[in-house]
Each structure stands twice: as structure tokens, then as C-alpha cells.
Amino acid sequence: MGATKLSGMQKQVLSLYRGFLRAARSKPATEDRKRIEMIVSTEFRKNSKEVDRKNFQYIEYLLRLGHKQLDQLKSPDMVSISSVKIN
């Protein structure tokens, strides 16, 4: 049974996702952890459906943005995150 080989960019996206989940687990309040996990899961699923897989520039932009947000979330002063829907 052969596993599908992931591209470098796919590995970066999965690593970022796992990083967000680890950061969520480090938060003291259970409801904050659940909220962070829900927002992260929703955003990653939304982007996986809406972003063209061949639009490398935009994916790289989202990766950079995600890493900045992850760094902020890792801060001990940051308790939770929020999501804003813009039409």
C-alpha cells in the first residue's frame, strides 16, 4: 500500500496546521482550545476548497500569514483567536 508523496508546499501547509493545533493545546482554558481548533480547522478546510492548487504565489502568501498568526498565538499573553468574515 503506497502512500501519496506530498510536495514541499503540502508538507509546509500540514506542518503549519499541526503547529496551530499544538499551540491550541498549550492554552490553559479548554473552551479556548476548542475555539482555536474550530477556527483553524474551518479556515484550512475553506482555503483547501477555495484556493487553486496551482496558485503558488497566493499559497505562499497564506503560509507567511499563517506563520505570523501562529507566532502571535504562541505568545503566552494571547489567550484566543477570532475569525472575521469579509464579503
pLDDT at residue 6, as a whole number:
84
Per-residue pLDDT, 28: 83
Q: Does 46 map to a domain?
A: yes
Range of the domain at 23: 8-74
Q: Which residue, chain included where needed, has cell 499559497?
A: 59
Residue 41 lies in a domain: yes
**What's the mean per-residue pLDDT of the chain?**
87
Res. 87: pLDDT tops 50: no
| Nearest residue to 20 (alpha-carbon basis) of 76, 69, 61, 62 | 69
Q: Is residue 62 within 8 Å of residue 20, measured between CB atoms?
A: no
Does residue 47 lie in a domain region?
yes
For the segment 14-56, what is each residue's pLDDT rounded down to a tens digit? 999 999 999 999 888 888 889 999 999 999 999 999 999 999 9
pLDDT of residue 47: 94
CA distances from 21 to 40, 43, 54, 55 (A): 8, 13, 26, 25
Amino acid at 6: L
Check: pTM over 0.85? Answer yes or no.
no
Domain annotation covers residue 82: no
Domain count of the fold of the chain: 1
Q: Is 80 inside any structural domain?
A: no
Q: Do you know the residue count of the chain? A: 87
